[in-house]
């Protein structure tokens, strides 16, 4: 019979194998990029004897809301590259659920909730 301790040990070994595989994949990706090059932004596909390899260069951009607000009016509204989207405030939603169930019920009509994947954390004794 497999005990919880056996399962925890199996988890540690699987995690080590997963990390080693990830590190090996990342190293191969670096070598592929060195060999084929990478666009600064955008993708390029290479056909290597029937194996398609696509390398996508990315630029991560973030917005400084305070700086944007100071210049937004200088850019015509129809040309502004910023959009404002409603976002769910989980802390506020939980507050409503606990302190004002009627408003929570009303708000929940616009919210979809589904269970997430449970997480497991295993650490070896120190």
The string of DSSP codes covering 50-92 is TEEEEEEE-------HHHHHHHGGGS-GGG----------HHH
Quick one: average pLDDT of 49-71?
Answer: 96
Which band of pLDDT confidence, cut at 50, 70 and 90, is reported for residue 123? confident
Look up residue 109 and give its two tokens: 């009509």
Quick one: average pLDDT of 98-109?
Answer: 96
* Domain ranges across the chain: 4-60
Which band of pLDDT confidence, cut at 50, 70 and 90, is reported for residue 126? low
Which band of pLDDT confidence, cut at 50, 70 and 90, is reported for residue 124? confident
C-alpha 57/C-alpha 13 separation (Å) is: 34
With 0-12 / 13-18 / 19 or more C-beta atoms within 10 angstroms meaning exposed / middle / buried, residue 89 is exposed
Which band of pLDDT confidence, cut at 50, 70 and 90, is reported for residue 38? very high
Quick one: average pLDDT of 49-62?
Answer: 95
**CA angle (104 as vertex; 98, 105 as ends), nearest 5:** 125
Contacts of 103 (CB under 8 A, 6+ apart): 96
pLDDT at residue 125 greater than cutoff 90 = no
- pLDDT for 118: 85
C-alpha 12/C-alpha 122 separation (Å) is: 7
Quick one: average pLDDT of 55-84?
Answer: 95
- pLDDT for 13: 97
User: b vs e for 9-25, b when ≥16 Cβ sit within 10 Å of the residue's Cβ?
Assistant: eeeeeeeeeeeeeeeee
């Amino acid at each position: 019979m497999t005990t919880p301790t056996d399962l925890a040990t199996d988890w540690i070994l699987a995690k080590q194998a997963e990390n080693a595989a990830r590190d090996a994949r990342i190293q191969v990706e670096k070598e592929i990029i060195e060999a084929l090059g990478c666009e600064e932004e955008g993708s390029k596909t290479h056909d290597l004897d029937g194996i398609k390899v696509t390398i996508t260069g990315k630029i991560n951009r973030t917005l400084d809301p305070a700086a944007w607000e100071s210049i937004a009016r200088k850019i015509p509204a129809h040309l502004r590259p910023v959009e404002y989207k409603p976002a769910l405030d989980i802390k506020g939603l939980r507050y409503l659920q606990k302190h004002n169930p009627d408003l929570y019920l009303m708000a929940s009509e616009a919210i979809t909730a589904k269970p997430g994947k449970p997480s497991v954390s295993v650490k070896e004794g120190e």
